[in-house]
Structure 1
Amino acid sequence: MMGSRTSALAAGVCAALFIGYCVYFDRKRRSDPNFRRKLRERRRKQKTAEEKSDLSKVLDLKDPEKIQKFFLDEIQLGEECLAHGDYETGVEHLTNAIAVCGQPQQLLQVLQQTLPPPVFQMLLTKLPTISQKIINMQSLAEDDVEYLI
């Protein structure tokens, strides 16, 4: 009888100490001045990672209708982001559209005339990486088809 009370008391003390430990470090973490900045950065990175994985789910390079819809959506999203001042995201959407465009030279000429020069330079620097990603997705899709045959 005495041993069970002692073990129950020890378990209760351990649980209280653990909860106290959690509360103390949670309060310490939240009072850190860099906590919110780090949290925003982590969420932004996670969101961009999700968007990149969404790209492979949305884009089917064998279906012209899906490519056209993706192209129009990316152009619209890019214009909206640029209008709100979010140049990085806007340029990323526009480069996605250029990568799947049937006539990228004509689109680049139109964008060069309409975009401010620094934004157009950002677009030109990002274009090779996005294009390579689209090419890699296309080769992966072709590899999947070969396995099915």
Structure 2
Amino acid sequence: MIDMNKNTVLAIAGVCGTAFVGYCIYFDRKRRSDPDFRRKLKERRQKQQKTNTSSGASAPLPDLRDVEAVQKFFIEEVQKGEELLGQGNYQEAVEHLTNAVAVCGQPQQLLQILQQTLPQPVFAMLLERLPSISQRLSGANPAAQAKKDEAPSGATITDVDDLE
């Protein structure tokens, strides 16, 4: 009698599982054939593409001579990067973390921490992005960059090549 109950339970579970998968397939097919679905999907992709191109201009870097502004910018960029990493949006997370590294007084130490905490592909994306941010940093504010290069720590963005 126990074997019959066990077999009955397994059969019922199999039938329910098959019915659920069938319903999912039916619902997905119905959703995809809906004309509004395709239109909304296209609009959503266009909107996302616009935001990606507009965010490509990256956040404006603070005046590097203003210590409070740099600290505030650094903390905000790290927080945004962590939040986006949690959401799985690695491209934008890397952008924000790169901004944080760019204004960091000791970028080598921050990069070592990030190397230990970030997944390897994300850290590789971060390293690829660093040269472009250092160019933007030196091109946007050459006087501030010269002052930053004279900092007592002696670490600059160009020291990143030593980590590779």
TM-score (norm 2): 0.57
Q: Following the alignment from structure 2 to structure 1, what is the Cα–Cα distance between the partners of residues 116 and 144?
A: 35
Q: Does 1:95 align with 2:98?
A: yes
From 94, 111, 125, the equivalent of 1:122 is 125
- What's 1:106 paired with? 109
Q: Following the alignment from structure 1 to structure 2, what is the Cα–Cα distance between the partners of residues 39 and 75?
A: 25
The sequence identity of aligned pairs, in percent, is 50
Paired AA for residue 100 in structure 1: V
Q: Following the alignment from structure 2 to structure 1, what is the Cα–Cα distance between the partners of residues 75 and 51?
A: 27
Q: 1:1-149 to 2 correspondence within 5 Å?
A: 36=43, 37-46=45-54, 48=55, 52=58, 54-56=59-61, 59-139=62-142
Q: Deviations over 1:111-136 (max 9, x none)?
A: 00000100000000001101111111
Pair 1:113–1:43, CA change in 2 (3 A): closer
Q: Following the alignment from structure 2 to structure 1, what is the Cα–Cα distance between the partners of residues 47 and 83?
A: 26
User: Which secondary structure does the structure 2 equivalent of 1:55 belong to?
Assistant: coil
CA-atom RMSD in angstroms: 2.5
Q: Following the alignment from structure 1 to structure 2, what is the Cα–Cα distance between the partners of residues 85 and 32?
A: 25
User: Which secondary structure does the structure 2 equivalent of 1:122 belong to?
Assistant: helix
Q: Following the alignment from structure 1 to structure 2, what is the Cα–Cα distance between the partners of residues 141 and 103?
A: 16
User: Which secondary structure does the structure 1 equivalent of 2:65 belong to?
Assistant: coil
Would you tell me which structure has more helix in proportion to its own residues?
1
The structural deviation recorded for 1:39 is 4.3
User: Which secondary structure does the structure 1 equivalent of 2:99 belong to?
Assistant: helix
User: Which secondary structure does the structure 2 equivalent of 1:74 belong to?
Assistant: helix
Pair 1:87–1:131, CA change in 2 (3 A): same
Q: Following the alignment from structure 2 to structure 1, what is the Cα–Cα distance between the partners of residues 83 and 40?
A: 33
Pair 1:122–1:35, CA change in 2 (3 A): same
User: Relative contact order (alpha carbons < 8 A, sep ≥ 6): 1 or 2 greater?
Assistant: 2
The structural deviation recorded for 1:40 is 3.6
Q: Deviations over 1:93-144 (max 9, x none)?
A: 00000011110000000000000100000000001101111111112879xx
Paired AA for residue 126 in structure 2: L
The structural deviation recorded for 1:84 is 0.7
Extract unaligned runs of 5+ from structure 2. 1-37, 146-164
TM-score (norm 1): 0.63
- What's 2:5 paired with? none
